[in-house]
Structure 1
Amino acid sequence: MFVLVRHSHAGEKKQWHGPDVERPLSPLGHKQAHGLVAALSGIEIETLLSSPTTRCRQTLLPLAQARGLPIHDEPLLAPDAPSDELFAALHRPDADRAVFCTHGEILNALAEFAQSRGIPGLPPSGATAKGGVWFVDCGAGPPPALRYLAPIPTG
């Protein structure tokens, strides 16, 4: 099983004047990031992988601190990453017990990639709120079992 996380709330792009890669979480986003710790309690996690953006790294930071795990930057989770390569990475054996934090557009592209090839078992496009979590259990299928957890707090 692996976990897909859409980064927590980061405010409006239009109101941020720096490079988008450096856009931080909003106060709500920080609360959602702390909520992730409770949401994933009882889930075995070995690896934390993040888009190399500030908002994704900040989303995983409370979890990293609580679990004593480092956060690894993964370019395949970045906003412009190729969905076919990410799809392949998610289906490698080392994806088991990993948390992947990425962006809504990447989750949507991943869903569209899988759907265009008739591959079930990935979150549907447009179905993940900021801070939302998908549990993907590949051992339950095929197809993999999906379970969604809305962000805490929702906003």
Structure 2
Amino acid sequence: MLVLVRHSHAGEKKLWHGPDAERPLSPLGHEQAHGFVAALGGIEIASLFSSPTTRCRQTLFPLAEARGLPVHDHPLLAPDASPDELFAVLHGPDADRAIFCTHGEILNALAEFARSRGVPDVPPSGATAKGGAWFVDCGAGPSPTLRYLAPIPAR
């Protein structure tokens, strides 16, 4: 099993005057990031991977601190990454019991790529709210089993 996370709320892009990669979480986003700690309390986690953006790292920091795990930057989680290469990573041995924090556009592109490869039951585009997550169990049968975790707190 793995978990795909859309970074928590980071405010409005147009109101941020620095590089987008450095845009931090909003106060709501910090609350959502702390919400993951309790929401994932019963889930065994071996590793944490993040887009190399501030908002994705900050989304995973409370969980990393609670679990004593480092957050590893992963270039295939960045906003302009290749969904086919990420799809391969998510099916590799390092994906088991891992959490991957990325962006809405990557989750949408990944779902479209999976659909084009005949994978049934992938999330529809735009289905993942900021701070939301998908539990993906690839070992439950011929197609993955998905379960959505809405952001805590919701916007």
Instruction: Normalising by structure 2, report the TM-score.
Output: 0.98
Question: Over residues 73-106 of structure 1, what are the superposed CA-to-partner deviations in whole Å (9 max), with x where a residue is unaligned?
Answer: 0000000000000000000122000000000000
> 2:112 corresponds to which residue?
112
Does 2:27 match 1:31?
A: no
Q: Which letter does structure 2 place at the counterpart of 1:49?
A: F
Q: Is the 8 A contact 1:122 1:136 kept in 2?
A: no
1:115-134 matches, cutoff 5 A: 115-134=115-134
CA drift at 1:50: 0.1
User: 2:76: which partner in 1?
Assistant: 76
The equivalences for 1:6-155 within 5 A come to 6-155=6-155
Over aligned residue pairs, what C-alpha RMSD do you find? 0.8
Distance 1:146 1:36 in 2: 17
Whichever residue aligns with residue 114 of structure 2, its letter is A
For 2:122 and 2:66, how far apart are their aligned partners in 1? 28
Q: Once superposed, which parts of structure 1, at least 4 consecutive aligned residues long, lie more than 2 Å away?
A: 120-124
Matches of 1:121 and 1:72, distance apart in 2 = 29
TM-score between both structures, scaled by the size of structure 1:
0.98
Alignment partners' CA distance in 1, 2:55 and 2:74: 14
Structure 1 CA distance, aligned partners of 2:121 and 2:51?
22
Helix, strand or coil at the partner of 2:139: helix
Deviation at 1:124, TM superposition (A): 2.5
State the shift of 1:141 in Å: 1.7
Output the amino acid matched with 2:5: V
Amino acid at match of 1:130: K
Using the TM superposition, give the Cα deviation of residue 117 of structure 1 relative to its aligned residue in structure 2, in angstroms.
2.1
* Residues 46-93 of structure 1: CA deviation (Å, up to 9, x unaligned): 100000000000000000000000000000000000000000000012
Report the identity percentage.
83
